Amino acid sequence: MPGMNAPSLLGLGTAVPERAMRQMDWVPIADRIAPASVDRAVTERLARRSGIEIRHCDTADREGEPTFYPPDPAGAGPGTAARMARFVTAARPMAARAATMAMQRSRTGADRVTHVVTASCTGFLAPGPDQWLIEDLRLRPTVRRTHVGFMGCHAAVNALAVAADLVRADPTACVLVCCVEVCSVHLHYGDRLDRLVANTLFADGAAAAVVGMQEHGPRLHAFESVLLPDTRDQMAWTVGDHGFEMTLGARVPEILQDRVGTWIRGTLDRHGLRTGDVGGWAIHPGGPRVIEAVLASLALPEAVGACSREILREFGNMSSATLLFILDRLQRGDVPRPWMGMAFGPGLAGEALLVT
């Protein structure tokens, strides 16, 4: 179990857009941007099965406002440049609110932050989120910056791993981590089932953490990565002319159920733990079937997935920000540690963290 050199999560913060979209609100939007070949019953069925009751989406319709996604006979929707412009207007204030909350909860002043680590797979621009945070939070202009780009839903683990390494290298360092995603700028016009599913699941959100070497708070004890062989065609995230394009294979839950158990049990074993020793599980809710697959693979009871299901139900899948929402829920619920977190992304790749 942990030595005293494990960096700590000193504070966590979350933020979402003001526009909340309930399941019943989504169906007419989806119906309008889908081609005539997509029956409305399909959209309704996907919404019911999503496990999502509310998503916060900056691009959601609001009465009296023009929509970002008008009906389009050409079946393409806004171009990528327009989507990136909308990303900026949504992402910047969310990132600032999440980071401000994390700093307040950790009692960290702006002059204390030495490094900023940001992550996003839904926006590409420079200056980007790292420089926004320095300007908006009035951090020192000499703060060191690292951006984790385009890694997908597991990027929070990658960002925390970078922060932990920075603090281990310099115990006086204080690292602000922020994941910000505006998934709703990449809704797709078309009838491909995987993209209809992606349209149904993904939402907008930001989450932040302050990482340092203090002796209080949950400790970032270990990180693990895995590339699952022969799965490259099952998940991808690429830049298209009309937004970023998702490829989501139907076999993803089956693959996770077959392989996650061996990987995670091996990870726990290397740290002298078994699944029964874990007090809280942070399973990235790629969708209800992903949670179910992980639980089955590890032979865990349904109740273990409760926190992940709650976040999915209340916020949807916010890509990289989602795992930090779950960790925040575990901490505020005083769930006993250790915690085991995991998420999956293009490749098919898995990232895990052990929090003690």
228-243 tens-digit pLDDT: 999 999 999 999 999 9
DSSP 124: -
Q: How far apart are CA 137 and CA 264, in angstroms?
A: 38
Question: Quick check: 177 and 159 in contact, CB under 8 A?
Answer: yes
Determine the pLDDT at residue 70.
Answer: 81
- pLDDT (0 to 100) of residue 63: 59
Average pLDDT score over the chain: 94
The pLDDT-based confidence of 1 (bands split at 50, 70, 90) is very low
CA-CA distance, 88 to 82, in Å (whole number)? 10
**Residue 72 amino acid letter:** D
Query: Residue 67 has what pLDDT?
Result: 75
Q: Residues 6 or more apart from 42 whose CB is under 8 A from it? A: 196
pLDDT at 313 over 90: yes
Asked whether the predicted pLDDT for residue 155 surpasses 90, the reply is yes
* Strands of the chain, DSSP E: 8-15, 20-22, 54-56, 115-120, 144-149, 175-182, 204-212, 220-227, 235-240, 243-248, 280-283, 339-345, 349-355
pLDDT digits (tens, 9 = 90+) for 32-59: 888 888 988 999 999 999 999 999 999 8
Contact 216, 60 (CB under 8 A): no
- Number of Cβ within 10 Å of residue 38's Cβ equals 17
Phi, psi for residue 108 in degrees, rounded to 5? -105, 120
Looking at the domain 220-355, which fold is it? Peroxisomal Thiolase; Chain A, domain 1 (3.40.47)
Cα–Cα distance between 175 and 251 in angstroms, integer? Answer: 38
Residue 287, sorted as left (phi over 0), alpha (psi -120 to 50) or beta, turns out to be: left
pLDDT in tens, 328-348: 999 999 999 999 999 999 989
The per-residue pLDDT for range 253-280, each reduced to its tens digit, is: 999 999 999 999 999 999 999 999 999 9
Q: pLDDT (tens digit, 9 = 90+) per residue, 157-201?
A: 999 999 999 999 999 999 999 999 999 999 999 889 999 999 999
The domain covering 8-212 belongs, at the CATH homologous superfamily level, to Thiolase/Chalcone synthase (3.40.47.10)
DSSP codes, 289-313: HHHHHHHHHTT--GGGGHHHHHHHH
Per-residue pLDDT, 58: 92
Q: The pTM is what?
A: 0.95
* Average pLDDT score over residue span 57-66: 73
Q: In which residue ranges of the chain is CATH 3.40.47.10 found?
A: 8-212, 220-355
The band of 61, judged by pLDDT with boundaries at 50, 70 and 90, is confident
Strand 204-212 to 220-227 pairing: unpaired
- Give the whole-number percent of the chain exceeding pLDDT 70: 97
Residues 295, 275: Cα–Cα separation, whole Å:
11
